[in-house]
Amino acid sequence: MTNLIQLQQVSKIYESDAGQFSALKNINLQIGTGEFVAIIGRSGSGKSTLLNVLTGIDQPSHGSVRVQQQMIHQMNESQLASWRGRTMGIVFQFFQLIPTLTIAENLALAMDFVNVIPKAKRGQRIHQLLQQVGIEKQANKFPASLSGGEQQRAAIARAMANKPDVIVADEPTGNLDSQTAESIMQLFKDLVDQGKTVLVVTHEQASLKHFHRVIRLHDGEIQDAASAPEPVTAVQQEAC
């Protein structure tokens, strides 16, 4: 398996009036192409900070972050924005679809920003993506008229719009009922089966069985990073 993402001695220190706070402490982590990785841990353990550092949304205070051949901690903001748009598909807990645009227009906007899919092919690609996530009938509706599960499907289709190699999702099922959450996890699994590398921050204990690897954060440190299925049981017992 090719080493796709590599974090070496990464720390993140937030400065505030109250002083310094270490949200990530000396993180060493490798993720291979095609891996399906869960990131778990209590609220405040550093999960979102970790995702933000490896997508370049946030800069580490120390250490290096390499994705494919790019040292992303060395890029400036505009290089990062362009790189992220081409390489990373990002999915959020509250979907973050633009409410004044239809579902199809939300996907079209994501394609306009990055401009990797030729204009003439975008309409067809939007149709295919919405079909893939099972909401092709909702293409011309506004986000508010869709259920939470459908909105998250739309957000996943949008994350896929520019054919990124990596999908990262920060508590994508945190606002969904358990049955819908399971169907969303299945969708991520389908993406892994198609060759994508997928990282998901999750609280869904029942879903952990799907993942190749479960990484648990505790106070900004990785507690264990082992292969499933054995460690999953241990993780489930000490629920996050």
Residues that bind ligand ADP (CB under 6 A): 14, 16, 21, 23, 41, 43-49
Query: What is the number of other CB atoms lying within 10 angstroms of the CB of residue 43?
Result: 9
43 binds, among ligand ADP, Mg ion, none (CB under 5 to 8 A by kind): ligand ADP
What is the per-residue DSSP string for 150-179?
HHHHHHHHHHHTT--SEEEEESTTTTS-HH
Q: What letter represents residue 128's amino acid?
A: Q
- The CA angle 83-88-163, to the nearest 5 degrees, is 100
Considering the complex, state which of residue 47 and residue 210 has its C-beta at the smaller distance from ligand ADP: 47
Rounded-to-integer distance, Cα 17 and Cα 116, Å? 43
41 binds, among ligand ADP, Mg ion, none (CB under 5 to 8 A by kind): ligand ADP
Considering the complex, state which of residue 48 and residue 202 has its C-beta at the smaller distance from Mg ion: 48
69 binds, among ligand ADP, Mg ion, none (CB under 5 to 8 A by kind): none
The binder of Mg ion chosen from 12, 45, 48, 216 (CB under 5 A): 48
Query: Residue 231 CB, nearest distance to ligand ADP (Å)?
Result: 19
Query: What is the number of other CB atoms lying within 10 angstroms of the CB of residue 9?
Result: 12
Considering the complex, state which of residue 203 and residue 209 has its C-beta at the smaller distance from ligand ADP: 203
Considering the complex, state which of residue 62 and residue 127 has its C-beta at the smaller distance from ligand ADP: 62
229 alpha-carbon distance from chain centroid: 22
